[in-house]
Amino acid sequence: MPKSILKIALDLPLDRLFDYLSDGHQVQIGQRVLVPFGRRSLIGIVIAKSNESEFALEKLKAVTQVFSDEPVLDSEALSLLKFSADYYQYPYGQALLSSLPARLRQIAPALTRKQYRYLITPLGQQTDINTLPARQTVVRRVLLALQTQTALTESELDAISSSARKVVKQFVADDWAQSEQVAALVKTLAMAMPEAPALNDEQALALSSIMQTPQQFKAWLLHGITGSGKTEVYMRLMQQILENDDAQVLVLVPEINLTPQLEARFRSRFAQFPLVSLHSHLSEAERLHHWQLAQAGAAKIVIGTRLSIFTPMPNLKLIIIDEEHDSSYKQQDSMRYHARDVALMRAKRLNIPVVLGSATPALETWHNAQNGKYHLLSLNQRAVSAAKLPQIDCIDTTKVNLQQGLTPQLITALKLRLARKEQSLLFINRRGYSPVLLCSACHWIAPCLRCSSRLVVHLGQRKLRCHHCGDEQKIPLQCPSCGNADLHPTGHGTQRLEQTLAQMLPGARIARVDRDSISRKDALLEILEQVHGGAIDILVGTQMLAKGHDFPNLTLVGVIDTDSALHSPDFRASERLFAQLMQVAGRAGRASIAGQVIIQTQFPDHDLFNAIRRQDYVSYANALLLEREQVQFPPYVFTALLRAEANDFALVQKFLRAAFEQARSLSQDVLVYDPVRPQMERLKGMERAHMLMQADGRPALQRLLRNLLLFIRAQPLSARVRWSVDVNPLEF
């Protein structure tokens, strides 16, 4: 009998599996192993076993180590990742390993400290504290706490005494207490949650419609205006699904900043169900522990960002995608998957329902709902009966005198909210102090030397910073071009707006929320707690504040400078701007106090702003779809982008020209456009270009890509150019 041969996936840019000998090890499919590769040792995942290899047995190396004490990836997880790697044209090994927590990609043992809570037993409950020696102070305190609370976590024990854990372990030995493993506790936003509100008719209809077929695949689009109670529908669905003891639910959110508030609401409502979160703000140990709880089926609810869609969950019965339109669900490097699309495929394979929620669905999603591929459910009224949609006013900035970038109408509205002790939010999607440093004499603008972009002024740090590559420079004392010392920060960013408001409204309590201000792990949580506690009057922020947050006392939203998106060469720019403005407008007046939205623009009569004032997503989306159909843009066609970059643009040109000629010869069913440079021609010192491919159907495009990549990988030039394939790109 020949030795057992293992087919192993490795984290390498080669689209193939590698053969190794098991060497007597007992190995399961989906298990982690350590193998030699050249002079290195690499972590791999066993994909299959065989008695044959295309290579001679004496040339095969043996597995070095098998991590037999760890759980394995199940067939569903391996199959989903294989499908995704094939569809997005990415090496399977790299896709598989990148989906794992960082500690499972490392050679060192992936150990996490198990966390426990301790519950009182009947014997412990009956024990009389007075029978214990008076000198055993800690023993008496721990027993009293257990008898009072019935259960204590490790952190609660630590609060009693540093020796309390040792005491409680003796309690377990004496049968006064019992231990159980729990999910790691992660800090979440402290929120007082009222009792579950009664559902209105639209919410009740949505819930009953989905629950008519809870054990079969259907894609449901829950289209609800902001504040319509989509989250309450999610929670009622989860409640009914989780009544099955074995069920698990996966909830996807687009960004980390939405996780704490949603997690707090779910923990409050579902205290009886173990819940974990998965996102990049967790430590490596926390992420691994949460992933393992989900993989073992112990965590019943998983809330996570896009990578969570690949988390193994053996009893998954429902997938919810909140803010499904958000571009954050699209991975922009490595395997360029879209978590929403992968979620739909995963739900279809498992034959379970998937719910896509949004006030402004992506046009692809809306198109699928219109043609019957998805089932449409609409929520057209706010969940709080007294809450009304905010009044939206567009102020023409060409007809008023701006004061530090603010219109008189907005300043008056801010002062009125301060007098009423209500809260305001000013939205400007540009961090830093000013987007441009301008010379008043020669009109020189500080450029980034590594990117085709301008440096942003960060006045507090006395720095010029590129928001694309992170390059920093000191603010020059005089113009490098003409020597003029009169250099002006021009335009507004979040820092400058915060400073302006502090000078204009000296009594106001102002907080800024952008990537610079919330770099600490819990900084955003602290700010949100202050908002809910009434300790902040005015929030200044970027798109981090535009969606998902519920501030009952916030009654004014001001939008500063969004006009640049109206003239963008990106055909999706108007769709994104409409969604963004609808989302940020939805933060106002969510409780019983009426809300107002003031948008500053030079084009108040633009079709987009007319639709915003009417809060009419349906008409605007249908108009955009008509345009897309006329010019044959997605979702009416399917596209893929071959991107290339190198230090020398001549290499990029040569690489893409060869790919262009080959693609043209491979298929008559795919339209291949000439290679062109993107709007950002140079990024991080690399010269860039791309080639667009377009087809009427997915099969023709996939066939072309498979054959084209075989050609590209065989070319010596492919090793000198950094290239990637982006299927269904969002930007080009």
- pLDDT tens per residue across span 363-410: 999 999 999 999 999 998 876 665 677 889 999 999 999 898 899 999
Q: What is the mean pLDDT of residues 70-92?
A: 93
- pLDDT value of residue 187: 46
Residue 672 is given by DSSP the state E
- The rounded distance, in Å, linking the Cα atoms of 493 and 160 is 47
- The rounded distance, in Å, linking the Cα atoms of 163 and 679 is 62
Q: What is the mean pLDDT of residues 481-492?
A: 88
Residue 477 CB-density burial (10 A; 0-12 exposed, 13-18 middle, 19+ buried): exposed
Q: What is the mean pLDDT of residues 515-543?
A: 80
- pLDDT tens per residue across span 525-535: 778 788 888 88
For helices 230-242 and 259-269, the axis angle rounded to 10 degrees is 50
- pLDDT value of residue 488: 85
What type of residue sits at position 550? Answer: D
- pLDDT value of residue 90: 97
Q: Are 572 and 730 in contact (CB under 8 A)?
A: yes
- pLDDT tens per residue across span 623-644: 999 999 999 999 999 999 999 9
The full set of domains in the chain, from first to last, is 5-105 (3.40.1440.60), 115-182 (1.10.10), 201-379 (3.40.50.300), 391-434+491-619 (3.40.50.300), 638-727 (3.30.70.600)
CA 511 to the chain's CA centroid: 23
- pLDDT value of residue 548: 60
Pick the range with the lowest mean pLDDT from 69-73, 108-112, 403-407, 544-548: 108-112
Q: Are 21 and 62 in contact (CB under 8 A)?
A: yes
Q: Are 234 and 357 in contact (CB under 8 A)?
A: yes
Q: 600-639 b/e with 16+ CB inside 10 Å = b?
A: bbebbeeebbebbbebebeebbeebbeebeeeebbbebbb
Q: Is the per-residue pLDDT at 88 higher than 50?
A: yes
- pLDDT value of residue 588: 78
Q: Are 117 and 154 in contact (CB under 8 A)?
A: yes
What type of residue sits at position 127? Answer: T
The more confidently predicted of residues 594 and 194 is: 594
Token representation of residue 263: 């997690």
Residue 495 parent element (H or E): helix 494-504
- pLDDT tens per residue across span 450-466: 999 999 998 878 889 99
Q: What is the mean pLDDT of residues 654-664?
A: 97
Q: Is the per-residue pLDDT at 319 higher than 90?
A: yes
Q: Name residues whose C-beta falls within 8 Å of residue 713's C-beta, 6 or more positions apart in sequence.
A: 15
Q: What is the mean pLDDT of residues 648-658?
A: 97
Token representation of residue 453: 């972009």
Q: What is the mean pLDDT of residues 274-301?
A: 89
Token representation of residue 702: 């996939």
Q: What is the mean pLDDT of residues 697-711?
A: 96
Q: Is 327 helix (H, G, I), strand (E, B) or coil?
A: helix
- pLDDT value of residue 544: 74
**Which residues are bridge partners to 278 per DSSP?**
304
Q: Is the per-residue pLDDT at 301 higher than 70?
A: yes
Q: Tell me which residue of 217, 200, 209, 272 sits closest to 239, measured CA to CA.
A: 272
Question: What is the pairing mode between strands 596-601 and 554-559?
Answer: parallel
- The rounded distance, in Å, linking the Cα atoms of 18 and 8 is 5
What angle (nearest 5°) sits at the alpha carbon of residue 159, between those of residues 156 and 161? 115
How far is CA 660 from each of CA 547, 634, 638, rounded to the nearest angstrom?
A: 41, 22, 18
Q: Is 356 helix (H, G, I), strand (E, B) or coil?
A: strand
Please identify which residue in the block is written with the tokens 């030699």. 36
Q: Is the per-residue pLDDT at 359 higher than 50?
A: yes
The more confidently predicted of residues 21 and 113 is: 21
Average pLDDT of the chain is 89
- The rounded distance, in Å, linking the Cα atoms of 408 and 400 is 8
Cis amide bond preceding 480, omega within 30: no
Q: What is the mean pLDDT of residues 652-667?
A: 96
pLDDT band at 515 (very low <50, low <70, confident <90, very high): confident
pLDDT band at 188 (very low <50, low <70, confident <90, very high): very low
Residue 640 CB-density burial (10 A; 0-12 exposed, 13-18 middle, 19+ buried): buried
Q: Is the per-residue pLDDT at 550 higher than 80?
A: no
Secondary structure string (H, E, C) spanning 698-726: HHHHHHHHHHHHHHHHHCHHHHCCEEEEE
Q: What is the mean pLDDT of residues 651-664?
A: 97
Token representation of residue 630: 């006329």
Q: What is the mean pLDDT of residues 517-530?
A: 74
Region class of 276: left (phi > 0), else alpha (psi between -120 and 50), else beta: beta
Region class of 669: left (phi > 0), else alpha (psi between -120 and 50), else beta: alpha
- pLDDT value of residue 186: 45
Q: Is 252 helix (H, G, I), strand (E, B) or coil?
A: strand
Q: Are 655 and 713 in contact (CB under 8 A)?
A: no
Pick the range with the lowest mean pLDDT from 64-78, 288-302, 674-688: 64-78
Residue 231 is given by DSSP the state H
Pick the range with the lowest mean pLDDT from 179-183, 398-402, 411-415, 475-479: 179-183
Radius of gyration of the CA atoms of the chain, in A: 29
| DSSP one-letter string for 549-598 | ---TTEEEEEE---GGGGG-S-TTHHHHHHHHHHHHHTTSS-SSS--EEE
- pLDDT tens per residue across span 23-34: 888 899 999 999
Q: Tell me which residue of 343, 329, 308, 342 sits closest to 101, measured CA to CA.
A: 308
Compute the CA torsion angle 366, 548, 258, 187 (nearest 10 deg).
Answer: -150
pLDDT band at 113 (very low <50, low <70, confident <90, very high): low
Please identify which residue in the block is written with the tokens 């007075």. 130
Q: Is the per-residue pLDDT at 257 higher than 80?
A: no
Token representation of residue 420: 């009423």
% of the chain at pLDDT higher than 90: 60
- pLDDT tens per residue across span 589-620: 766 677 899 999 999 999 999 999 988 999 99
Phi, psi of 397 (to 5 degrees): -75, -10
